[in-house]
Amino acid sequence: MPRRSNYLQKIVFGLERQVAGKAEIEQSPLLKDRVTGRDREVDIVISGWVGGRRIVIGVEVTASRADAGWVDEMVGKHRNLPTDKLVLFSKGGFTEGAIADAAASGVETVTLEEPGDADWQKVCGKLSQVLVASVSLVPRSGTAALRTAEGLRPAVGPETEIFMKDGRRVGTFQDLASAFLRGANVLERVHAREDRPDLKRFVATINVPRGLHMRDTADGLHEVLSLTIAGDCEYREVVVDIASSEYRGAQVAHGSGRLGNQDIALIITEIETEPMRSSIVVYKGENDPGDVVDLAPHGSEHLSSGHREAPPK
């Protein structure tokens, strides 16, 4: 059976990733029932080591207002699962009976609350919309300028190998190109161009670190001065409407949109005295748990930027 997911589950998953510290977070994993031996899907599982022991927390998510019946159903589901603690999240809140039953069973109840008025809330409470943009660069071909072969620019491909002078392998042209593109502020440069929606190709020159070499057909090594790479380019952007809330003591902002042919869920959290955290879950369809892109702060002009490598076509 394929794993199930939905937008709300992705938001809670993203929030837990940002507020749970170094714990491991999984979306829609299968846990084995100790009595029946059957696999049961849990919306979110948080695990980590405390005092030499692995602690497992199960999180179940519902959009509806949770009543005592749903709480009892989830408690029964987890009775024989290897979870040490159960957390129930309801976007619509909990009835009094649900809260009482959860407390009696040692279950934590969580919802998205109205945002607080904390004076340290620098970003989340001030956002109404966020522009989310991505650029996909897929290297296709390249040439190399070699120190010992003046005027010669041999063609290189994704799997062309790069070596140190002593013959130790460093990696491939694809590795070097990807590392360069990650650190080149590509998104900001492309976003500044007025013709960005029409860009289909890119060309870039890499001045490589000294000491990198390529082999010739006779197995001789030649120092690489620079690499020129060319490939496919695709720019996308979408304006995301933002809702502000409070989640487990953190000020949060979240929203959704469609970037190209993929849906996205944007999650931002602020916790007092800690750096702001933001990430995007990129997914295709409700039942796809998606991939997470963690974003890094990038000054005051842009909220954040991140890198997600596009697979070769």
The token duo for 79 is 């009775």
Mean local confidence (pLDDT), 168-187: 82
Whether residue 180 contacts residue 206, with contact meaning beta carbons closer than 8 Å, is answered with yes
pTM: 0.77
- Of 16 and 146, the structure prediction assigns the larger pLDDT to 16
Tell me which residue of 51, 57, 52, 53 sits closest to 19, measured CA to CA: 57
d(CA 124, CA 200): 35
What 3-state class would DSSP assign to 45?
strand
Query: How many C-beta atoms surround the C-beta of residue 239 within 10 A?
Result: 11
Give the model confidence (pLDDT) of 197-207 as tens digits: 899 998 988 88
User: What per-residue confidence (pLDDT) applies to 51?
Assistant: 86
The token duo for 120 is 């340290």
Model confidence at 1, in pLDDT bands (50, 70, 90)?
very low
- Is 301 a residue whose pLDDT tops 50? no
Whether residue 54 contacts residue 48, with contact meaning beta carbons closer than 8 Å, is answered with yes
